[in-house]
């Protein structure tokens, strides 16, 4: 049985966090809608041209990269052909070799050099917008002729203005930013599926 002294503070905390999360998403629906549309259009164009999507990030953003790549390669809602997407966060041998032989800031750059091709799309995810390896990856991808999307939060950090499309979550709270990133990612995957396999 729950401790009566804890029930109401816990409930208040839970309600407050759910309301805060919803509030950030409502603000994003106003401030970020145009950028999300632009990101969806860029993803659709990439796949229709026969190119692929690469994703990168650290920590929770690495998990988001893997999650979204899985939605595209497997499926989100539709029974359809696989969509080519690769998370650059999954091969521990590659990641640790590059970090050991070069520097951790190069772990995504080196993989883009290996797998990225002109007109591919890199999606870089960083809650702060200041992750050095994501910054270097976006810069290198653009030099190599890839298109770029970044998902950040707060003021966008150092990544602001570096990509073809910036999606900046209007919050300074890492939890709220990460919750919004995966919501945006699901929306983008859904729009891509519908556009490629329904609205041809």
Q: Does 176 have pLDDT greater than 70?
A: yes
Looking at the structure of the chain, the number of domains it has is 1
Query: What is the reported pLDDT for 5?
Result: 58
- State the DSSP string of 85-140: EEETT--HHHHHHHHHHT-GGGTTHHHHHHH--TT-EEEEE-SSS--HHHHHHHHH
Rounded-to-integer distance, Cα 145 and Cα 157, Å:
23
Domain of 187: which CATH number?
Answer: 3.40.50.10490
Range of the domain at 178: 4-197
Rounded-to-integer distance, Cα 174 and Cα 115, Å:
30
For 70-85, what is the mean pLDDT? 95
Q: What percent of the chain has pLDDT over 70?
A: 95
pLDDT digits (tens, 9 = 90+) for 111-138: 999 999 999 999 999 999 999 999 999 9
Query: What is the reported pLDDT for 9?
Result: 83
Rounded-to-integer distance, Cα 37 and Cα 66, Å:
22
Q: From its phi and psi, is residue 183 left (phi > 0), alpha (psi between -120 and 50) or beta?
A: alpha
């Amino acid at each position: 049985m729950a401790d009566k002294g804890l029930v109401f503070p816990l409930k208040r905390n839970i309600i407050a966090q759910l309301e805060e999360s919803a509030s950030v998403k409502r603000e994003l629906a106003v401030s970020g809608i145009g950028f999300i549309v632009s990101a969806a259009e860029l993803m659709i164009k990439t796949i229709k041209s026969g190119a692929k999507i690469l994703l990168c990030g650290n920590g929770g953003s690495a998990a988001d990269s893997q999650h979204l790549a899985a939605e595209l390669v497997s499926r989100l809602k539709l029974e359809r052909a696989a969509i080519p997407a690769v998370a650059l966060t999954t091969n521990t041998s590659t990641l640790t070799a590059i970090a050991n032989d070069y520097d951790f800031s190069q772990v995504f750059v080196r993989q883009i050099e290996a797998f990225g091709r002109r007109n591919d799309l890199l999606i870089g995810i960083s809650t702060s917008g200041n992750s050095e390896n994501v910054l270097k990856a976006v810069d290198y991808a653009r030099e190599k002729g890839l298109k770029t999307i970044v998902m950040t939060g707060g003021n966008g950090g150092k990544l602001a203005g570096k990509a073809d499309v910036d999606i900046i979550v209007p919050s300074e709270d890492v939890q709220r930013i990460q919750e919004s990133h995966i919501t945006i990612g699901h929306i983008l995957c859904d729009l891509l599926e519908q556009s490629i396999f329904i609205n041809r």
